[in-house]
Amino acid sequence: MAEVSFPLSLPSADTHWMTLHREGPLFVLHLHHKDNRFTTDFCKAILSALQIIEDIFNASDDPVDMALVTFGNGKIYSNGLDLMHAVSYPPFMDTYLLMLRRMLTFCIPTVAALNGHAFAGGCLLALAHDYRVMRSDRGYMCMNEVDLPSALAPGMAGLLRVKMTPQTFRDVVVQGRRFGGQEALDNQLVDIICPEKEVLDKAKELALKWAPKAKSGIVYKQLKEEMYTDAVRQLSIPFNRLAPKM
């Protein structure tokens, strides 16, 4: 495979929306394009980062420690979908759902460092990671579709369903409940809460703790595909089949 130099600007040096760093066994993807709303090209840039990491993982001659951390900018992890883009460009949804599926079943351990708000589509991306570290003093996890109003694609609902208890699932979907750091921890939506200045460091510590599990090779991905088999199947449904029902 071609040599990759880090830090890497994505999707390009001229259109620099995110930066992929490598720190020993850790890959760190910093999302820093305004409030990190998802468009087709933004999702494709994340998919490109995942492909680069997976190619490096697969190119290793021997099993290696490896993990991925993602984090946002300022008070925002991600504010979710760019709704104008999503409405005006129907193929967007297939790219977004693919991104969620790839993250959910990624070949190495993944940690979302929630530096701030993770709303709607941003909340889903955070939940698609294996682990989450959230700031304790500010920021919410929230699915606000009930207030928009907007339907949830089966894959979105399926992802939520496998990542939380039935009661929390109810509160998230039909109440649009916002979870601050302590509430998110109490409801098992996140694994660690801490002050803002510690979020990224704590996420890296957690990633390093579980990075050795990547030594299981393709089995790590296969285990997650089996754990989340219903959500994976639902995330694979082409959106054009769903649109008339939503």
C-alpha torsion sign, points 141, 143, 146, 149: positive
The whole-model pTM stands at 0.96
Going edge to edge, which strands form the sheet with 131-135?
8-11, 16-23, 26-31, 67-71, 110-114, 131-135, 192-194
If phi > 0 it is left, if psi is from -120 to 50 it is alpha, else beta; for residue 237 that is: beta
Give residue 238's Cα distance to chain centre.
20
- Give the per-residue pLDDT at 241: 58
CA distance 197 to 220: 31
> At residue 224, what are phi and psi to the nearest 5 degrees?
-70, -35
| Percent of the chain whose pLDDT exceeds 70 | 97
Q: Residue 127's pLDDT band (boundaries 50, 70, 90)?
A: very high
Tens digits of residue pLDDT in 133-157: 999 999 999 999 998 888 899 999 9
141-150, 163-172, 197-206, 216-225: the lowest-pLDDT one: 141-150
Give residue 52's Cα distance to chain centre.
16
- Give the per-residue pLDDT at 61: 86
CA distance 146 to 137: 26
- Give the per-residue pLDDT at 244: 52
Whether 160 and 173 have beta carbons less than 8 Å apart is answered as yes
Q: Write 58-63 long-range contacts (CB < 8 A, 24+).
A: 58/107, 59/1, 63/214, 63/215, 63/216, 63/217
- Give the per-residue pLDDT at 240: 67
Going edge to edge, which strands form the sheet with 117-119?
76-78, 117-119, 141-142
- Give the per-residue pLDDT at 243: 57
pLDDT at 211 over 60: yes
Closest CA to 233 of 133, 124, 104: 104
* Mean of per-residue pLDDT scores for the chain: 95
194 or 147, greater pLDDT? 194
- Give the per-residue pLDDT at 17: 98
Q: State mean pLDDT over 236-244.
A: 72
CA distance 52 to 27: 10
Tens digits of residue pLDDT in 44-83: 999 999 999 999 999 998 889 999 999 999 999 999 999 9
Name residues whose C-beta falls within 8 Å of residue 76's C-beta, 6 or more positions apart in sequence: 35, 36, 115, 116, 117, 122
Please state at what angle helix 121-128 crosses helix 92-104, rounded to 10 degrees.
Answer: 30
- Give the per-residue pLDDT at 63: 86
Name residues whose C-beta falls within 8 Å of residue 130's C-beta, 6 or more positions apart in sequence: 109, 110, 111, 210, 224
